[in-house]
């Protein structure tokens, strides 16, 4: 069986007859676009950590039915698919924008910047020649593209990109937990859970928190605002 066939994962349900989530990619290929990429991001809502984007060009001859919205998959299934994508002939790119950059340019612009970096990272003979982008905002690149609301359910490539983005970010936050265990990043991934918010009240924000976000900015002192900004290089690369 081909390494690019998801059928090798028996725990995935196949879509109902006629539910073809590779139709857009196949249609675009028929119009001359040979490298159609799906693009998605993870981490717009957390109070801490980076926003991460994935960009994936799936092989044309694979079984793509296993790629579903990362939010609808268990952590175990996401990890399985992440490893599968990394070892297959799919082209995979990742883009990361740190908490400091998010503060400077706002979360929307940071998400788009992460997507742009992911596309640049997804190098083949050049950039992908068409982008299917989750959401309503195009990636700031002069490439042909189409935005898709709920794109993970409409495009296998976007779903695959969402898996890459989500798992990559989860790995970053798991590493962050080793440095800042008091916030429970291993469980909350930086999202504003009750336990996380209480930890911010007790310990104050750490260098990974987004200081312009409600739930964090209330606990930033004047001295914190004037302090040198840490690089965060030990946890991820920009």
**Tokens found for residue 32:** 């001359």
Q: For the residues 187-210, what does the mean pLDDT come to?
A: 98
Q: How confident is the model at residue 221 (pLDDT cuts 50, 70, 90)?
A: confident
CA distance 216 to 205: 7
Distances (CA, A) of 203 to 60, 167, 180, 226: 50, 27, 10, 19
pLDDT of residue 53: 98
CA distance 125 to 105: 31
Beta strands in the chain (DSSP E): 36-42, 51-57, 91-97, 130-134, 144-148
Residues 122-169: pLDDT tens digits? 987 678 999 999 999 999 999 999 999 999 999 999 999 999 999 999
pLDDT of residue 123: 81
What is the DSSP code (8-state) at residue 52? E
Q: For the residues 96-114, what does the mean pLDDT come to?
A: 98
Pairing of strands 144-148, 130-134: parallel
Q: For the residues 76-83, what does the mean pLDDT come to?
A: 96
| 42 in Cβ contact with 166 (< 8 Å) | yes
Please report the domains of the chain, with CATH numbers, ordered by start residue.
6-170 (3.30.420.10), 177-226 (no CATH)
* Run of H or E residues at 50: none
Q: For the residues 62-80, what does the mean pLDDT come to?
A: 90
| 47 in Cβ contact with 190 (< 8 Å) | yes
């Amino acid at each position: 069986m081909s390494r690019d066939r998801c059928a090798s994962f028996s725990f995935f349900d196949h879509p109902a007859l006629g539910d073809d989530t590779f139709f857009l990619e196949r249609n675009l290929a028929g119009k001359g676009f040979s490298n159609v990429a799906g693009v998605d991001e993870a981490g717009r809502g957390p109070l801490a950590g980076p926003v991460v984007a994935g960009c994936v060009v799936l092989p044309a001859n694979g079984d793509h039915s296993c790629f579903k919205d990362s939010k609808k998959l268990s952590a175990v299934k996401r990890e399985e698919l992440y490893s599968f994508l990394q070892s297959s002939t799919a082209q995979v790119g990742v883009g990361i924008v740190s908490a400091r950059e998010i503060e400077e340019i706002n979360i929307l612009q940071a998400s788009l910047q992460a997507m742009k970096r992911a596309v640049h990272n997804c190098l083949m003979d050049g950039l992908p020649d068409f982008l299917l982008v989750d959401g309503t905002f195009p990636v700031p690149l002069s490439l042909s593209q189409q935005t898709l609301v709920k794109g993970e359910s409409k495009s296998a490539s976007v779903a695959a990109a969402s898996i890459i983005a989500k798992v990559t970010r989860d790995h970053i936050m798991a590493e962050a937990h080793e440095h800042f265990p008091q916030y429970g990043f291993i469980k909350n991934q930086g999202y504003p859970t009750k336990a996380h918010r209480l930890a911010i009240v007790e310990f104050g924000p750490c260098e990974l928190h987004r200081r312009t976000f409600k739930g964090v900015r209330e606990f930033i002192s004047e001295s914190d605002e004037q302090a040198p900004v840490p690089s965060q290089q030990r946890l991820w690369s920009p």
